[in-house]
Every structure is written in C-alpha cells, then in structure tokens.
Structure 1
Amino acid sequence: MPVSPDLSEDLATAVADLYEAAEGVLIGKIRRALAEGLGSPVWAELKLAAVGNLQAAVQEVIAALQTDASGAIGQALAEAYDRGQQAAVAELGALGVGQAAAAAAALPTAPIVDRLAQAVIADTGPVYLRMLRASMDAYRDVVARAAAAPLLGAQTRRQAAQAALDDFASRGVKGFVDSRGRSWELRSYVEMAMRSATARASLEAHSDRLGAAGVELVMVSQAPEECPLCRPWERQILARTGAPGARDVQVEHATEDGEMVTVRVAGSLPEARAAGLHHPNCRHRVSAYLPGMSRIPAVQPSRGTYEDTQKQRYYERQIRKWKRLADAGMDEATVKARRARVREYQTRVRELVAETGLPRKRHREQLTTAR
C-alpha cells in the first residue's frame, strides 16, 4: 500500500503524550504545594522553605520521563520503519509484480533507525533541564507575586497565586526556538520532532523495499487542503533516487519484456522532500509507479482550504490550553469558568467541520494525563 507521514502519526503522538502527561503532573504538584496552608500568615516563608522538597519531586518525575521516553523513541522509530517495509511489500504483492518476492526478502533494520533515534534523544536532551528550571522558576514566581499582592493591595494572595500559576500553565515549558524564530511549547516541539523522524523512517523503509524490488519510480498522491509547499508535487512521478530536475525518461514496461515506455519525471524524491514534501502533518502518500500499468490518480475535491485546516488546529490548541488551565485552577469557580471556555472552542470546531466538511480529530482535542 502507499506510504505517507501519517502512517506513523500515532507513534509520534504516543511519545509526545508522555511529555504532556509529565507536564500535567508538574503543574499539579506545583498547584498542590502552593495551595497547602495558603491562609497562613507565614505562607510565603513556608513555601520558600519547601523549595527543596518540590525540586526533589520534580526531579523524580523528570527522571521517570527520561527513562520512558528514551525507550519509547527507539521503539516508535523501529515500528515506523517496519510499517514502511510492510507497506511496500503489500503494495507490490497486491499488484502482482514479480519482484514482490525480492521486496519481501528479510532485510535487517536499517542503521537509519538507530541514527534517527539517537538524533531525537539528543535533540530532546535539553528538555529535561528546561522542565526543572521552568517548574522551579514558576513556583518561586508564584510565591513572590502572592506574597507581594496583599502589601500592594491589588489582589488577594489566592488571586495573585492563581494568576502566576496560570502564566506557567498557559505557556507550558517553552524555550525551543526554530530557524524561523518561533517558540515551541514542550508537547508541540516533541511531537514535531517525532513526526519528522517517524515519517522519515517509514518513508525510507518503503523506498528501500522498492529499490530491492527494482522499482525506481514513485508517484505522489493528491491530498485535499494541501499546503503550498506540497502542491507542486501532487500527482507527479518522481525518481526514487538520482539527480533533481524534470525530464523525460525511457524505462521498460512493468510487465512486458523489451517494451519501452516514456515517462515524464518531475524530479527526484529527495528533491521533493527538500522542497517541503512530507513536512510534519503532511498527508501526501507515495506509491510505486509501474510503467505502463500505474495511472495518475484523479483530482479529489477539497473539503475546505488549507487555511481552514490551520484554523481547526488553532481551535484544537485552544481547547487543550483551557483544559490545562482548568487543571491549574485553585478554586471551583475558576475551574468552572475555564471549562466553559473549553466548551466554547469545542463549539467553534463543530461549526467549522459542519461548514467545511473537514473531519473532526477529537484525539487532538484531548489533554493527555499521567497514567
């Protein structure tokens, strides 16, 4: 069957879920530590004296996360590569191609899996230090702002503590800045890194299997609501490897010995990926192109626009944000008001999917909690 980045999307999501759950645990620990004895006149002194206890608890959570995540990253990438191989074997076998046996021959897990796993683990290494620093900075900030509020007469201690804790819960653990200067929150950064890595693993595996079967041309699907980066490569034939650039090539018919077929190749697969095809969240599939047999897929009608999909993702992020803020609420009235905001954005999602026909992705509206 064809392969695409979303073939392994669930694997990337599972790893990102670990980080989100850990972040939720940290927010909960900070909230409970702050709420205890909030009415005491020496509350601030007690909270500052308890910094060491909280830091030890935070470090315990981070250590558990680091152990779980390292194993999960390696397993996810190995599974992604295996899925890519299986997709190629199933695709060629279903088409009745003689080379299917060659594609199905046992191949060892490619070194790329180990390289990708180590790269992701190294890339997320600074995460753990940032989590500790952000958690402790947030705790100290809450204590300082809450202690100063009664003196200033601007807020009650509870209101000030809630406002400071909200700042942390709203922004999460940040500090990841990409080449475009965008700052990423913890879960989004990890999920982006894992989607890129699992997509590459499954796509490379698919390509390796096709190469083992002697298939050197692939075809890109159309994906409705595509982004501008992918649009030039839709429904195009690409060389699996080789030089970039469009050209006509003479290749042998897939099933007729000695019969040559002229194929218009839009470029190479590495060239298309370098230009943006198969970016994180890309839904374009790649399948084997068999000269004289394969047909370019028909154009599919769009259910909305690319901008509509980005609006939906924004609403999903807001739902998750307000759920996280509800978890950080220090009193029932605050929690109730924030759950109302969750329902408000859920209504916006329902209206958008009803208007455009886009599928609703409820799993992207869920906030992962610790198991």
Structure 2
Amino acid sequence: MPVSPDLAEDLAAAVADLYEGAEQVLIDRIRQAIAEGIDSPTWVEQKLAALGNLQAAIAEVIEALQLDASGAIGQAVAEAYERGQQAAVAELGALGVGQTAAAATALPTAPVVDRIAQAVIADTGPVHLRMLRQSMDVYRDVVSRAAAAPVLGAQTRRQAAQSALDEFANRGVRGFVDNAGRSWELRSYVEMSMRSATARAAVEAHSDRLGAAGVELVIVSQAPEECPLCRPWERKILARTGAPGARSVRVEHATEDGEMVTVEVAGSLPEARAAGLMHPNCRHRVSAYLPGVSRIPAEQPSRGTYEQSQQQRYYERQVRKWKRRTEAAMDEKDRKAARAKVRAYQARIRELTAETGMPRKSHREQLTTAR
C-alpha cells in the first residue's frame, strides 16, 4: 500500500480541531463579556474592572488546550508512524515470505516519534502566548472603540463593539509566520505543522520498513491538480536513500535471481522531499518499485488546475471566516447576514467542484467548537 501525506490527514485535522475549538471559545467569551450590561452608563468602568477576571478565564482555556494538544500531538505522530509501517507491510505482502517477514520485523519507533512530536510541540509553543495576548488586545480594543463611539457620534456603543468583534472573527488569531515568511491563521498554521509532522512520520516509517525488506527503490504517483514543487517528481523512480541526482543503476531483478536490469533513477527520496515533494498538502503517493516487475503508470489528465484547487481552499477559508462572524454576532440581524455569506461561499464551492470534477471537502468548511 503506497504512502502519502493524506494517509494521516485526519490525525492532523483532529489536532487542528482542538485549536479551532479553543479559538471559538475565546471569541464567545469575549462576546459575552462585552455584551453583558452594554447599555449601562457605567459599562466602561465595569469592563475595565473585569479585565483581570477575563484574562484568568482565557488563560484557563489556553492552559487546558496546551495540555490536551501536547498529548494529542504525540498520539497523532505515533499513529502516523504506525500507519506508515502498516502500509509498507501491506504493500510487500504479495512478495516472498522472507521479504514480508523482514518488513514486519519490529523497528525502534520511540526515538523517531519523540523527535518529530517534540519538534511540533516546540513549533506550536508560541501559539498559546499569542492566543492570550491577542484575545486581551481585542477585548481592550472593543472597550475603547465602544466607549469612544457615542462621544464621536459615529456609531452607537453596540455597533462599535460589534464592528471590532467582527474584525477579530474575520481574521481569528493569526500572525503565525512560517519559514517562507507567510502569515497564517491559527487553524491553518497548526494543521500545516501537524500535516508536515504526520506526513514525515508516515513516510519515514514506510521507508524504514521497505529498507528492512531490502527494497531500495520507490516510485512517485501522479496526483491531480499537482503543484509546481511536486510536478518534476511525478511518475519518477527514486532511490529510498543515498546521493541526490539522476542516474542509471544496475540492480537485480525483483523476482529472478541473478538477472540484472537497468533502472533510470531521477534522484533520491530525501532529495525530492527537500525540494517540496510530500509537502503538508501533497496528494502524491510513494510506493515500492520492484525492478523488472513494477511499471511506470501512464500519465493521466488532471481534473482541474493547481490554481483552481487553491481557489477552492480560499472559498473554504471564507466559509470558516463567516461562520466565526456568526459566532461573534451580538444580535440576530448580524447573525443572519453572516449566515447568508456562508451560504454564498458554499454555493461558489459547489459551482467550482461541479465545473472541474474536483472533490468537495466539506470538513474543511466546518468550525469545531469546544464548549
């Protein structure tokens, strides 16, 4: 059974759900704190006096999140590694008993799993501090703008508060910057980190198991709507380990003892991964290549373009954004307007998937709220 990042996609999504749920709790806590007594003439004084209580409540939510997330990250990486091992054993099941037995031999997994999990925990560590800081900044901003609005005559206090809450719901907790300098919203950042980690765990486990069975070559599948980073490696044969660079190699036939065959190798798997193959959202699969037996599959047309797949991702983010706006709304009028936006972007997704044949991934349009 081939291995790919989507083998553990559900594991990454489960961890990201924890963070998105916590984000929704923060929005709801801030909304409730702001709405309480908003028509009172002493509202500003009440809100400023309650600042410490709100900070303690938010810190409690984040502390619980941090504890839950650390355990979930370790479990997800361990499960991804196990799935990668199982994929290799299943893939080699049709081979000789000796190779299958070698693939099934226990390998030391704890050091690999711990290394990958600890890297993710360290990477997401600053997230918790930013969640607390931005939540409190938003609360202060809402109070300040709502207090100033009646004086300036531009908006009522309620309108000003709703406007500030809408801005927070639009962007969510964000400001997480990756190595390429790109800024991410909270859920996307955590899911990206987890997809990278679980993909790495699954691919390493699969490769280790193949190596235990004496399989040193792998082949990359073709995937629909492939990105420019992956396209050069599609349908190419790679060395599981070793030096980079294309070359011809003479290897023994997979089933005929003593018979040698020539294989054109495009490079090594580590080289391809360093160049972008198997990135967090990659849909390519890597499977064992058996010299003299495996065949390079014929090229298949894509359903849509990479740009269209990115357009779909944009619409999904907009659906989630307007669902957050629904959560942040302080009255039914604003909730109805936000729901209408949700339906409009979902209609665009339906149109795009119908036009291209790309699958609709409804789970990417959902908010997970832990209340």
Q: Is the structural similarity TM-score above 0.5?
A: yes
Q: Give distance in 1, aligned partners of 2:181 and 2:272.
A: 24
What is the count of residue pairs matched by the alignment? 371
5 Å matches for 1:100-179?
Answer: 100-179=100-179
Q: CA deviation at 1:263?
A: 0.3
2:215 alignment partner AA: V
TM-score (norm 1): 0.98
User: In the alignment, which residue of structure 2 is the partner of 1:270?
Assistant: 270
Q: CA deviation at 1:244?
A: 0.6
Q: Give distance in 1, aligned partners of 2:224 and 2:187.
A: 27
SS state at 1:124 partner: helix
Which string of whole-angstrom CA distances, capped at 9 and with x for unpartnered residues, describes residues 255-287 of structure 1? 111000000000000010111101110000000
Output the aligned Cα RMSD. Answer: 0.9
Which string of whole-angstrom CA distances, capped at 9 and with x for unpartnered residues, describes residues 312-341 of structure 1? 000000000000011000100000000000
5 Å matches for 1:133-282?
Answer: 133-282=133-282
Q: CA deviation at 1:97?
A: 6.3
Q: Identity over aligned residues, as a percent?
A: 82
Which string of whole-angstrom CA distances, capped at 9 and with x for unpartnered residues, describes residues 128-174 of structure 1? 11111111110000000000000000000000000111111111112
Given the superposition, is the C-alpha separation of residues 286 and 19 from structure 1 closer, same or farther in structure 2, using an over 3 Å criterion?
same
Which string of whole-angstrom CA distances, capped at 9 and with x for unpartnered residues, describes residues 168-206 of structure 1? 111111221123322111111110000000000000000
Given the superposition, is the C-alpha separation of residues 119 and 278 from structure 1 closer, same or farther in structure 2, using an over 3 Å criterion?
same
5 Å matches for 1:45-64?
Answer: 45-64=45-64
Structure 1: stretches of 5+ with no match in the other structure: none
User: In the alignment, which residue of structure 2 is the partner of 1:84?
Assistant: 84
User: In the alignment, which residue of structure 1 is the partner of 2:346?
Assistant: 346
Q: Give distance in 1, aligned partners of 2:259 and 2:110.
A: 35
Q: Give distance in 2, aligned partners of 1:105 and 1:239.
A: 22
Q: Give distance in 1, aligned partners of 2:312 and 2:74.
A: 31
Which string of whole-angstrom CA distances, capped at 9 and with x for unpartnered residues, describes residues 223-272 of structure 1? 01101110010000000001111010000000111000000000000010
User: In the alignment, which residue of structure 2 is the partner of 1:287?
Assistant: 287
Which string of whole-angstrom CA distances, capped at 9 and with x for unpartnered residues, describes residues 7-45 of structure 1? 000000000000000000000000001000010011011
1:308 alignment partner AA: Q
SS state at 2:174 partner: coil
2:194 alignment partner AA: M
1:83 alignment partner AA: R
Q: Give distance in 1, aligned partners of 2:76 and 2:118.
A: 12
1:281 alignment partner AA: N
> 2:319 matched to 1:319?
yes
- The farther-off stretch of 138-147 and 290-299 is 290-299
1:227 alignment partner AA: C
Q: CA deviation at 1:98?
A: 3.9
